Amino acid sequence: MKGQVFDIRRFSTHDGDGIRTTVFLKGCPLSCVWCQNPEGISVKKRPLYFENRCIHCGTCVKKSRAEGVKIENGKIHLNPKVAEDWAEIIDWCPAGAIEMDSREMTVNEVMEEVRKDEVFYRHGGGVTLSGGEPLFQWKFALELLKQCKKEGIHTAIETSLYARQEILEEILPYLDRIFADFKLENEDLHKKYTGVSNERIRRNLKFLLESEKKDAVIIRTPMIPGMTATKENIEAVGRWISGIYPEVSYEILNYNPLAESKYHLIDQEYCFGDNPKLYTKEQMAEFRSWAEQGGVKHIIIES
């Protein structure tokens, strides 16, 4: 079995307990306008062009046989839909300015990377599956989690929960920590900003918060200016999750302005013309107070 992996990030301290190795799996059924990893939305492989590495030698244009690489207005442009020999073009680039956005890997190949950090797993760390949406490649994710548990490695997942409940039931026994997004409580706004209804997500959240693993679940809301970061939304999310499980843990994630830089790689426009800044400690404290007004007692603030 092979999975499409677009990154393996070592020494991560923001994706779960301790020092983590985070495996990013491609493919996501949502299309959040603020997506932090837009290169992970499509499950298909594609070449990416890194302008900051380019030495403008023109080799990629010469090696392009179907005009998949062109110079327009003095800049290199890729058309990933063109049937090029991208492996050859990448091979010939002397600066490493073009590379594929992901690679196919077996469970064993991923575990080889994971084992490089096993010293940290003995001191509270572990492996986190992220994306994209890791449940989009759920069979691969399941086998990877099973192998981690065989080797005594703490496991976590970062998920939108947009998947069939049967998938969640099958994968849950192999998870020690579940980070589940609940971005927007209002269904119309959820559809507007993520492209899908939140009905399935609600059902899965309820299932998790009524399960034996409920204390291993942390619900997350990313603070996106003018979209999720409103009093109405945070209070509503708080009321809904605390109404299911009064001891629920809720994490408020600060806005990440670094995501904007990834959008030019996939030829897309970011949702903000003027990229907002991180929220201040005072603003994050206000978000906390809104969640408390919604009934949440256990709040985690990521600044």
* Cα distance between the two ends of the chain: 38
Q: Which two tokens stand for residue 241?
A: 């999750």
Distance, in Å, from the CA atom of 301 to the CA atom of 96, rounded to the nearest integer, reads 38
Distance, in Å, from the CA atom of 232 to the CA atom of 288, rounded to the nearest integer, reads 13
Give the architecture (CATH level 2) of 47-100.
2-Layer Sandwich (3.30)
Cβ atoms 2, 140 nearer than 8 A: yes
Domain boundaries, the chain: 2-43+103-302, 47-100
Residue 303 pLDDT class (50, 70, 90 cuts): low
pLDDT tens digits, 121-179: 988 899 999 999 999 999 999 999 999 999 999 999 999 999 999 999 999 999 999 99
> Is 0.95 surpassed by the pTM of this model?
no
Distance, in Å, from the CA atom of 27 to the CA atom of 44, rounded to the nearest integer, reads 8
Q: Which two tokens stand for residue 141?
A: 């994710």
Residue 95 amino acid letter: A
CA 144 remoteness from chain centre: 17
Distance, in Å, from the CA atom of 27 to the CA atom of 134, rounded to the nearest integer, reads 8
Say which CATH topology domain 2-43+103-302 has: TIM Barrel (3.20.20)
